[in-house]
A = this chain, B = another copy of it.
Amino acid sequence: MTLSMRYPAIDETHDPALSSWVEGADDHPDFPVQNLPLGIVSTGGGDPRVGVAIGEHVLDLAAIAGLLPDDGRAALSQPSLNAYMALRPEQRLALRRRLSSLLTREDERRAIEPHLHRASACMLHMPARIGDYTDFYTGIHHAVNLGSVFRPDHPLLPNYKHVPIGYHGRASSVRISGVPVRRPSGQVRTAEGTAPELAPTRRLDFELELGFWVGAANRPGEALPIERAPDSLVGICLLNDWSARDVQAWEYQPLGPFLAKNFHTTISPWVVTAEALAPFRIAQPARPEGDPAPLPYLFDAADQAHGALSLDLHVALLPRGGTEAVPIARSHASHMYWTPAQLVAHHSVGGCNLEPGDLLGSGTISAPVPSGLGSLMEMTRGWKDPITLPDGQSRLALEDGDEIRLSAVASAPGFRSIGLGRCDGRVVA
Contacts and interface: CB of A to CB of B under 8 A. Distances in A.
Contacts of A197: 295
Contacts of A259: 346-347, 349-350, 352
A349 B241 CA distance: 18
B162 A196 contact: yes
Interface residues of A, number: 61
A383 interface: no
Interface string A191-214: 000011110000000000000000
A304 interface: no
A170 B130 CA distance: 12
Contact of A182 (B151, B264, B351): B351
Given A132-B170, A197-B295, A244-B350, 5 more contacts: A172-B354, A182-B221, A220-B264, A256-B256, A263-B352
Contacts of A223: 185
B350 A184 contact: yes
B251 A132 contact: no
A351 B263 contact: yes
A132 B171 CA distance: 6
A414 interface: no
Given A147-B254, A150-B254, A259-B352, A187 B167 contact: no
Interface of A: 131-132, 137, 147, 150-151, 157, 159, 162-163, 165-173, 175, 182, 184-187, 195-198, 220-221, 223, 244, 247, 250-259, 262-264, 292, 295-297, 346-347, 349-355, 358
22 contacts: A131-B171, A147-B254, A159-B196, A159-B250, A159-B251, A163-B250, A165-B258, A167-B167, A167-B168, A167-B256, A167-B258, A172-B220, A172-B353, A173-B220, A173-B351, A184-B349, A185-B350, A195-B292, A198-B296, A198-B349, A220-B264, A259-B346
Nearest to A171: B132
A216 to B, nearest CB: 13
Nearest to A252: B254
A251 B250 CA distance: 21
